[in-house]
Amino acid sequence: MSSSSGKKKETVLETKTSPSPFGSATVKLFLKSSTLRVHKAFLADKPQLYGTGSGGVSGEIDSTQVLLKETSLEVGHVLVMWLYSGTYQLLPRDAEATPREALKTALEVYVLALKYDLSGLESLARDQVTRHGDEVGIYTTINVVLEVYPLKSKGDEWLNEFLSTRTKEALKNDPTSAVMPKDAGEQEETTLIAKTIVRSVLDAYREKSEELVAREAVLEEATRALAAQQLSFDNVVRESANAPPAETSAPPRQESSIPGPSEESNYELAPEEVPEVFAMAVVEELSLPRQAPGSPENDWVMTSPRAAELEPEDLAVSSKKSKKDKKGKKNKTAEPEPEPQPEPEPEPPSAPEPEPAVSKKDKKKKKKGSIWDDLVEERAGDSKGLGESGAVADLVVEDHPDPWATWGLTRKPSKGDGKRPVLY
């Protein structure tokens, strides 16, 4: 008895310490509708998966079972095959499954691998999802994703990128093919949600594309207009560089609006505003001869209103005298200058000549006379100072002793001392 019990204990120890993984105890995998067994050695390095068993009321971990109540038999078979061989293998009956069923199985395996941190199985499942996703339409792919785990792909970057890429490819390659699913077994009811989503995306994509096309057309037109404008500008610059320099002409001279000395003034002065200096200028204007426009060089006439009242004989005398004076001046200038003679010695100053006696009556008469009488007398007698104006001055004195009458003014002798006339 004792010997038989000793042999039994040795057999159990050898089984527990066997170096082969197939000699280890088995662990039950409880699935949704079936149970599978796996050797414990293949679960030893999968802590997230091997810690899911529970036993009894105490809740202690039972190392003889793993609970996977939401996993189908197809997914469980792929899991066990991966644990033993590291490959992705379906059930023999699933080899003839439709692309949609194969895509759904691959997505379920992918979700299981993410949940229990099985990186090797996750990579294999991605390849299968990509492969079967290309075999079905974009609507089917979206429906399968929503069916496997709706609203659970928020942090899954790979799945989001996969869906985005599939949608872009479907719209880019053949936009009309995205309206209906590829596989004939797909029902209209099962693709309602996916159709709504993809149709919205398609409409937004089409609107954006049309906007971009219109913007590109406007940009091309603006580019052509800018190129034509630049070409025109270059031609203008080239022509201006080759053209000869233009002759610059002086601007036309503007006629002055200030009246000249021969023009009649349009303004009138009040008699009380005419100063004595202006009256002297009037007398000088009447005394000097003027040359009429278009007349010969030596034909001098009076251009003032007073000249109209002169006789032709008087004007002829003035003209002859003017010619004679000019001829004398010309001969005088032509003669050579005499040699300077030695200056004579200054003679002693002689006694001043006595002034002629003036009667009291003449002094009184001269004192009572006005400044105008003295001015006219002085201008009429000084023929040397005026040049050829002596004859005209004589005429002025003889015909018009009072020069104010020539300009239409009236002079009234003052009642005072007679030094300044009063103008009316």
Got the DSSP string for 217-269?
HHHHHHHHHHHHHHHHHHHHHHHHHHSPPPPP-PPPPPPP-S--TTSPP----
Q: Compare 118 and 335 and report the one with higher pLDDT.
A: 118
Highest mean pLDDT among 2-6, 289-293, 349-353, 386-390: 349-353
For 105-114, 157-166, 351-360, which range has the lowest pLDDT when averaged over its residues? 351-360
Type of residue at 135: E
Helix (H, G, I), strand (E, B), or coil: what is residue 358? coil
Q: Compare 388 and 407 and report the one with higher pLDDT.
A: 407
Please tell me the distance from the alpha carbon of residue 298 to that of residue 319, in angstroms, as a whole number.
7
Q: What is the DSSP string of 64-83?
A: TEEE-TT--HHHHHHHHHHH
Please tell me the distance from the alpha carbon of residue 202 to that of residue 178, in angstroms, as a whole number.
9
Q: What's the chain's average pLDDT?
A: 68
For position 388, what pLDDT does the model report?
A: 46
Question: In which band, very low, low, confident or very high, does the pLDDT at 389 lie, cut at 50, 70 and 90?
Answer: very low
CA distances from 309 to 49, 314, 411 (A): 147, 10, 21
pLDDT tens digits, one per residue of 357-372: 656 666 555 555 555 5
For the cut 70, the answer to whether the pLDDT of residue 250 exceeds it is no
Question: In which band, very low, low, confident or very high, does the pLDDT at 422 lie, cut at 50, 70 and 90?
Answer: very low
For position 391, what pLDDT does the model report?
A: 44
Q: Compare 391 and 152 and report the one with higher pLDDT.
A: 152
Question: In which band, very low, low, confident or very high, does the pLDDT at 123 lie, cut at 50, 70 and 90?
Answer: very high
Please tell me the distance from the alpha carbon of residue 117 to that of residue 119, in angstroms, as a whole number.
6
Q: Over range 259-283, report the average pLDDT.
A: 54
Q: Over range 215-242, report the average pLDDT.
A: 89
CA distances from 225 to 218, 222, 235, 252, 334 (A): 11, 5, 15, 43, 83
pLDDT tens digits, one per residue of 63-75: 778 888 889 999 9
Positions of E strands within 44-160: 65-67
Q: Compare 57 and 369 and report the one with higher pLDDT.
A: 369
Highest mean pLDDT among 152-156, 209-213, 319-323, 379-383: 209-213
End-to-end alpha carbon distance in the chain: 181
Q: Over range 194-212, report the average pLDDT.
A: 75
Angle between helices 390-399 and 312-334 (to 10 degrees): 160
For position 97, what pLDDT does the model report?
A: 84
Q: Compare 181 and 196 and report the one with higher pLDDT.
A: 196
Q: Compare 54 and 243 and report the one with higher pLDDT.
A: 243
Type of residue at 180: M
CA distances from 109 to 53, 75, 76, 375, 416 (A): 20, 6, 9, 140, 144
Question: In which band, very low, low, confident or very high, does the pLDDT at 105 lie, cut at 50, 70 and 90?
Answer: very high
Question: In which band, very low, low, confident or very high, does the pLDDT at 303 lie, cut at 50, 70 and 90?
Answer: very low
For 105-119, 177-191, 192-206, 267-281, which range has the lowest pLDDT when averaged over its residues? 177-191
Q: What are phi and psi of 274, to 5 degrees?
A: -80, 115
383 Cβ contact list (under 8 Å, min separation 6) = 389, 390, 391, 393
Q: Over range 64-92, report the average pLDDT.
A: 90
Helix (H, G, I), strand (E, B), or coil: what is residue 60? strand
For position 75, what pLDDT does the model report?
A: 93
Please tell me the distance from the alpha carbon of residue 318 to that of residue 377, in angstroms, as a whole number.
19
Q: How is residue 50 written in tokens?
A: 């091997």
419 Cβ contact list (under 8 Å, min separation 6) = 370, 371
Q: Compare 155 and 129 and report the one with higher pLDDT.
A: 129
Closest CA to 40 of 73, 59, 61, 66: 66
Vertex 75: Cα angle to 72 and 80 (nearest 5): 120
For position 7, what pLDDT does the model report?
A: 42
Contact 27, 61 (CB under 8 A): no
Please tell me the distance from the alpha carbon of residue 331 to that of residue 28, in angstroms, as a whole number.
159
Q: What are phi and psi of 414, to 5 degrees?
A: -75, 155
Question: In which band, very low, low, confident or very high, does the pLDDT at 9 lie, cut at 50, 70 and 90?
Answer: very low
Q: Compare 122 and 265 and report the one with higher pLDDT.
A: 122
Closest CA to 183 of 143, 148, 140: 140
pTM over 0.85: no
